[in-house]
Amino acid sequence: MRYVKLGHSGLDVSALCLGTVTYAPPARSGRSWTLDEEASRLLIRQALEQGINFFDCANIYAKGACEEILGRALRDFAQRDEVVITSKVFNPMRSGPNSKGLSRKAIMQECDHSLKRLGTDYIDLYEIHRWDSETPIEETLEALHDLVKMGKVRYLGASSMFAWQFSKALQIQKYERWSRFIVMQNHLNLIYREEEREMLALCAEEGVAVTPWSPLARGRLARPVEAAKASIRGADDSYSEFLYAATEHADNAVIQVVQQVAAARDVPMAQVALAWLYTRPAVRSVVMGATRGQHLTDALGALHIALTSDEITALDAPYIPHTIVEHD
């Protein structure tokens, strides 16, 4: 395993971060492709055994079930001081007022709820899941800073927003001497590269680590075009359709190049797609999901692949501009 500093901080994390959105019984997640607790625990344990110390979660994942499963597994299989846990806040956890967003009330109450579900007294990295246009950003940032000073949170991060929004937040934090974001967890992969326009350069300049979500485009970059819906998730994932259906034809050209590069190297397609991400500015750790042990093995193999300039040029070439998604 390779370990890296997370942004302009002293925090050491594995260059692979295990995402846990698939770790919840289908009855609680409402999705046919998520795993029950026994299967989830097995993969979390395998990740630990292979050197992964970085685990990503969010309160909204199966309305807390993922946090519960991750917390129990880490208590059984790891030393708390040796792992880095991420959780997030923004999305509605129930109906009614103050049930969502980034108000001081919502942040404080949802952090406490996440701590209880995770079974820990602090969260290593607490991220705002989206930008809240209905709450003054100063209120949000001061509440996050207070969580750090209270010891409930160690570091702060953000996810999926416009570069101008993130820049504004960073400058307010600097001016007020509040705890700063050290991570931008954004949507970035070979078939969605809109973050390259402004966000990656901003993060590189500000010393913020980029930790992409959906690095394999919900599995699309891990298998040939004709097998896009061969998996249970591929056949039943409405969110994937929302993200990629509109650009499917153009994306297929990229996927075919990934397949060609992987075939020439005799490695899985997933390794090529992940290796490409590490060539992007400020990318330090990649948030990848795993529903089988082989997924972890493939991801680990990507850390040992150094793509040539010709391969990178070939992988970059078919991309066309996409409509920005998930910034609202």
Burial of residue 72 (number of CB atoms within 10 Å: 0-12, 13-18, 19+): middle
Task: List the one residue out of 59, 107, 110, 106 whose CA is nearest residue 85.
Answer: 59
- Report the distance separating Cα 305 and Cα 283, nearest Å: 15
- Check if the beta carbon of residue 209 is closer than 8 Å to that of residue 285: yes
Residue/partner pairs of 145-152 with CB below 8 Å, 24 or more apart: 145/173, 145/176, 145/178, 145/179, 147/107, 147/108, 147/111, 148/179, 149/179, 151/121, 151/122, 152/111, 152/112, 152/115, 152/121, 152/122, 152/123
Catalytic residue among 23, 61, 244, 319: 61
Respond yes or no: is residue 61 known to be catalytic: yes
Tell me the longest C-alpha to C-alpha distance in the chain: 55
CA 32 distance to own-chain centroid: 21
CB 274 within 8 A of CB 216: yes
Q: Is the dihedral of CA 247, 253, 256, 262 positive or negative?
A: negative
**Which two tokens mark 201?**
């350069």
Which residue has tokens 């492709």? Answer: 33
- Could you give the residue numbers annotated as active site? 61
